[in-house]
Structure 1
Amino acid sequence: MSADDLGEPHDPAAFRSASEWDSTSVPPTGLEVLVPDGWAVHADPQAPAILTMLSPAAEREGDFRPSIVVTVEQPVEQQRDIAEYTRTMVAGLRANLTDAHVIAIDPLWVGGFEGRRVITGYREGMHTLVAQQYWALDDAGIATSMTGTSSVEQYLWAADVFAHAAAGLSVASRLATPAGDPA
């Protein structure tokens, strides 16, 4: 699979401008993403998950609360190609999630770069969950991963929410420097 097979990339900034949703950014990294209406946002450029979004509180006690988490990392040299990065990420999903089943791995443009959408089902406690992930590496090899997670029942509506947020994702172009370190 080559980038030529993906069709034309879209402009995430133009998509954000046309969207009715607000966006949020993490300026030290260059990352920007759409925020679903009513979702809470927490940004911490120094944390592994630099951006976390939570859906409104569940209506019933015990219901899963859908979320979107964005991470930015500098993969090791051997993983700075999208195919190898994908192999490594999928192996990590299978090793770390309970009863993980990778349902789909789809090549697509993410933030203007060749990327992947990966859909995985797994168990977490009493919940059966679906993770819809989007990831890409920029030209410098910085990896941005956006993971939307919901219960299987919620996935009927959440899949579109995750896809809309991802369509407005501008991937990170740099890592945040630790507090106090010169840039």
Structure 2
Amino acid sequence: MNKNLQVATIGGGCFWCTEAVFQEVKGVEKVISGYAGGNVPGEPTYREICSGLTGHAEVIEVTYDESIISYEDILVIFMTTHDPTTLNQQGADRGTQYRSVIYHHNEIQERISKEVVHQIQGYYEGKIVTEISAAPVFYKATQEHQDFYKNNNGQGYCTYVIEPKLAKLRQLHADKLK
């Protein structure tokens, strides 16, 4: 395994959106959609997550090559391609499962997370409400949720919700694209 590979775990609403964004970023090796941060025992199902009762957030696990892209750059892209000022909501998706969250895997990631949120705050009128917490257990979503945009880009959700986020990515971070 490449010793430069690192993992970032982030959630910015529906995991289909954040997955599609990071699949286009240079240095990203793999993106897995899943769930983290819940308070019920066992592996949750998509239906249970959608109820909002498990406490889990829809997140992605991003495996990236830190010799190509930094953790800070991953977070800047993340913070600028979703709305980190809306509590438990992204667009029409509402509930704790759609919260903005950064799950750090070590003290360095924790420090960088706090620094990036502080730096980005000046670009938003509202207060950033992104949760920053230690990475809990990550549960991979079922296969139908993996590569969702790639496999379903003609669907309405993809057209009206994911494509504007991809356009924002391309506008703000063209230098970071594959």
The two structures have a TM-score, normalised by structure 2, of: 0.24
Higher RCO (C-alpha under 8 Å, 6+ residues apart): 2
Considering fraction of residues, name the structure with more strand: 1
The two structures have a TM-score, normalised by structure 1, of: 0.24
